[in-house]
A = this chain, B = another copy of it.
Amino acid sequence: MLKNKITTIAFDADDTLWRNEEIFMQAQSHFIDMLTGYHDKAYIVSHLEKVQIRNISIFGYGVKGFTLSMIETAIELTEGRIQGHEIHSIIELSKAMLATPITLLPNVKETLQSLKKDYQLMAITKGDLLDQEGKFARSEIAHFFDYIEIVSEKKPDTYANLLHQYQINTDEFLMLGNSLKSDILPVLDIGAMAIHIPYHSTWVHEQVTAEELQKYPSIVEFSNISDVLPWLKASAKLP
């Protein structure tokens, strides 16, 4: 490890700053209950995943695309026999998802507060524009961030463009997030630093294979966001 020159720390939002995957899991569980008269649970889940992945390049990430995929799945799995009132309850599910209160993850607020003094802070999140903005507005932590960027995809180019836009050198940038695929690997790919903070569950679309991971010799992992504080202190003191 070299002495760090970090000036900017960027955070993923969903499942890094606040709970999100549970909201999708809960909606999905209601959705499964609705269709158990037609198919078994495992088949419903696997078909929904298939439809979601098929639709991701068209609808993007977020609640609205997820909802359209749930509706499409329900129609396909029932061969069109799904009832109007059942589809209506899927739309109601999506509105409930969009209105779910924000639950910050442990130590998030304290960690941001502490970092704020010495670093430029960014949030980089993907999903629906209005939904992500609404979550930041309700989170009570938006004021800690110098910049909040909502993007449609997290590819190496996405990060390279943001660093260029904000005139940040790659060796001055650290990204923290729960998704290896979106938050860690593309940042390592452009030669910047990224540390993984795993969340207890990861959506299938965000999973990476062991083979992909082999290309990256070492990935640093924190069990909690607050681990970044002693890590920064230690790596700043290096020769």
Q: A-side interface residues toward B, CB under 8 Å?
A: 58-60, 64-65, 67-68, 71-72, 74-76, 78-85, 87-88, 91, 94-95, 98-99, 128-131, 133, 150-153
Contact = CB atoms under 8 A, between A and B. Distances in A.
Contact of A152 (B58, B72, B88, B129): B129
A45 B79 CA distance: 29
A70 to B, nearest CB: 11
Q: Closest 9 interchain pairs by CB?
A: A80-B84, A60-B130, A64-B64, A130-B152, A75-B84, A80-B85, A129-B152, A75-B88, A129-B129
Given A65-B64, A128-B129, A83 B85 contact: no
Nearest to A60: B130
27 contacts: A58-B98, A58-B99, A59-B98, A59-B130, A60-B128, A60-B130, A60-B131, A64-B65, A64-B68, A64-B128, A68-B91, A68-B94, A71-B71, A71-B91, A72-B91, A74-B84, A76-B88, A78-B84, A79-B84, A80-B84, A80-B88, A84-B87, A87-B87, A128-B128, A128-B129, A129-B129, A133-B152
Majority-rule SS of A interface residues: helix
Given A128-B60, A129-B60, A84 B85 contact: no
Contact of A83 (B71, B80, B130, B150): B80
Residue among A75, A85, A153 having the largest count of chain B Cβ atoms under 10 Å = A75
With most chain B CB atoms within 10 A of its CB, the pick from A84, A87, A88, A152 is A84
Contacts of A94: 68
Nearest to A147: B165
Given A59-B130, A129-B129, A85 B75 contact: yes
Contacts of A95: 58
A87 B84 CA distance: 9
Given A60-B130, A75-B87, A80-B84, 5 more contacts: A60-B129, A60-B131, A71-B91, A79-B84, A129-B129
